[in-house]
A and B are shown apart, each in its own frame.
Chain A
Amino acid sequence: MTDIDLLYYVLELEQPWQILQIRDDLRSRQIDVWVGTEPPKKSWIFGRKPPAEEAREYVWRHANLGTMRCVVHASIPVRANTANLPWCGKADMPFTRAMALQVATMISQGMSLQRVCVVLDMPVEELWKFRRRLDSGQGGLATDGPTATTPAKQSGSPGLVADPDDPVWEKLLDGSANIDIRILSLKLLLTKMREQMQAITDQEVRLLKRYELQRYFARNEKQLGHELAQLRRH
């Protein structure tokens, strides 16, 4: 297997997608990969032939290759179907699907955003932007493939705090379960999360939100007796 073949393999690039150019900078530990549907030219003297079809240019941060950051520069024909391509992302999102799923998995396992940035070697602003887009429903994680985000379960006292998969959390988030709330932090948190859920259609992101709410209840169960008693009736 050649180096290029290996790169095709790790990026999961298949026909008709081609690697057009590679730039690796060992000093800054980043590899940039240009991807499109045009075959590479043997000589750059004559420049690239304009694509036959109109294409849009995107830049996404991809999952790291070893210790190297990987950035994908993609030239995507307008009518191309890129759904589920792991090296591709959504327009206006900073990450490829593979990277988005990796980040979401880390967050769902309880890793702090700061820690995620350290592990993946990315600026915190990029991660915040991604997180905000998920929260506002502008981005998603769902693919046709198997679900990778199985959030870490927070254990409350047995029988007091429902399991994260319990449908009561979705009901609380969509407002179909309305309870009397005495604790200020829950009033504010639930207001924020209900507004977010109105915009979020991606099922994986909705799952993350349910787990986030359950984590709040598990963490604060000593103060939430009044609220938990009502949830047990739903």
Chain B
Amino acid sequence: MNANNELLSIADATARIRAGKYFSIAGDESALAQLPRGNWIGGTIPYFMTAAGGCTSRDQVFVTEIPAHGETPRLRLCDLDALPMICHNAPDNGFTLLILPAFSQAHERFAHDAPNYEDMYMKPLAGWIAGIHLDDLGKRTPKVFLGETGEMSDQVAAVIDVPLPAEKMARIDIINLFRQGDGDAITFTEAGFSAEHCLVNGQPAVLSDYLTALRIDTRLPLVADYCGAMINVSFKAVVPSEQRVDFYAPVFPGQVYRIAAPVHDYVTAFQEAIPSGIDGLTFSCNCILNYLHSNLEGRRTAGVTGPITFGEIAYQLLNQTLVYLSVEG
């Protein structure tokens, strides 16, 4: 399904980089640090979906080749001040891949503000949130890399802008197996990565109390309906003692959320959900929560491969969703 995207040894990835092509690369920090300088951006994560199935590796890297059709792609690190202009500065025809370090201010600001960035939704923007091995939580920080200079950062974004000729166009789409369940409508009066109060069917409630009382399985995300696109907000923690619920993406006022209906067999459901005719994907990524909750280690997702990430970007930040980008025409 994914052309030229695969898990490689450091030696093989090095050879590819030295051939002068352009790449987005995912891998453990120690693996990425061994790669030579070249035309690549990278993000840390040791979990991958490969053609053989889901796997964990600290000494291999997942290499996504970026098509260069004539005009040269532009690679850079992008700080907090420049992030709001990412779509405005994108090619008039083309696409942008963005990698953000999890837990950074850039990640948080993007999550909150991206929907209001200038030219957002006008130009294709995809990407992922760099993470770490779950055993390294608290010991290491997620990072991005700029292959041109060898720089790495746990605070800024890595970006590649890819111009396309007029006859081609980039398309971004998602596969989200979660649908809104039949339960209560939950709304929020403020945006945020955490919430204490909410409205349940229009009535004030304390969200942590609500989730605890109904014994909600918090492996199931909140789901909002965006004109037919199901958009998840995943639960990170429920802290009843502090009457607080934390999320992996912000909730927004104006959206009606419902707890997702369960998905009983992710792989089967994924196979059924994948649209016909998607082939030769330029980029894709899927969520670590899907990987863990659905036991995807060793299991395949219909040949759609890529890093398993701490968040996904399809214009805005998503959770528990597979994002893919294709170039058509």
Residues of A bordering B, CB below 8 Å: 112-114, 124, 128, 131-132, 135, 180-181, 183-192, 194-195, 198, 215-216, 219-220, 222-223
Expressed in whole angstroms, the Cα–Cα distance for A187 and B172 within the complex equals 12
The answer to whether A189 touches B121, judged by C-beta atoms less than 8 angstroms apart, is: yes
- Main SS of the interface on chain A? helix
Q: Which residues of B contact A (CB under 8 A)?
A: 84-85, 88, 115-116, 118, 120-122, 124, 169, 171-174, 226-229, 231, 254-255, 314-316
Q: Which residue of A lies closest to B121 (CB)?
A: A189
B169 contacts A222, C-beta separation under 8 Å:
yes
Q: Chain A residues with Cβ under 8 A from B84's Cβ? A: 124, 128
Evaluate contact between B121 and A185: CB separation under 8 angstroms. yes
Residue of B85, B88, B115, B172 near A184 (CB, 8 A) is: B172
Docked CA distance A183–B122 (Å): 12
The total of interchain contacts (Cβ-Cβ below 8 angstroms) comes to 63
Q: Determine if A219 and B122 form an interchain contact, defined as CB atoms under 8 angstroms apart.
A: yes
What's the nearest-Cβ distance from chain B to residue A183, in Å?
Answer: 8
Question: Taking chain B's interface residues, is the majority helix, strand, or loop, or is none over half, making it mixed?
Answer: mixed
> In the complex, are the beta carbons of B227 and A112 less than 8 A apart?
no
- Can you give 15 A-B contacts (C-beta < 8 A)? A113-B118, A114-B85, A114-B118, A124-B84, A135-B116, A184-B229, A185-B124, A185-B315, A186-B227, A187-B227, A191-B226, A191-B229, A192-B116, A198-B254, A216-B121
Bound CA–CA A220/B92 (angstroms): 11
CB distance from B135 to the nearest CB of A (A): 34
A184, B122: Cβ atoms closer than 8 Å: no
- Give every chain A residue within 8 A of B85 (Cβ-Cβ): 114
Q: Which of A113, A191, A219 contacts B227 (CB 8 A)?
A: A191
Asked if residues B228 and A181 are in contact (CB atoms below 8 Å), the reply is yes
Which of A113, A131, A216 has the largest number of chain B CB atoms within 10 A? A113
Q: Give the residue name and chain of the A residue nearest to B323 (CB).
A: A184
Chain B residues closer than 8 Å to A220, beta-carbon distance: 122
Q: A34–B226 Cα gap in the complex (Å)?
A: 48
A181–B174 alpha-carbon span in the complex (Å) = 14
Whether B174 and A184, one on each chain, are in contact in the complex, defined by CB atoms closer than 8 angstroms, is yes
A190, B88: Cβ atoms closer than 8 Å: no
B227 touches A114 (CB 8 A): no
Cβ–Cβ contact A188 & B229, under 8 A: yes
Measured between alpha carbons, how far is A128 from B132 in the docked complex, in Å? 34
- Taking a contact as CB atoms closer than 8 A, the residue among A131, A132, A216 that contacts B122 in the complex is A216
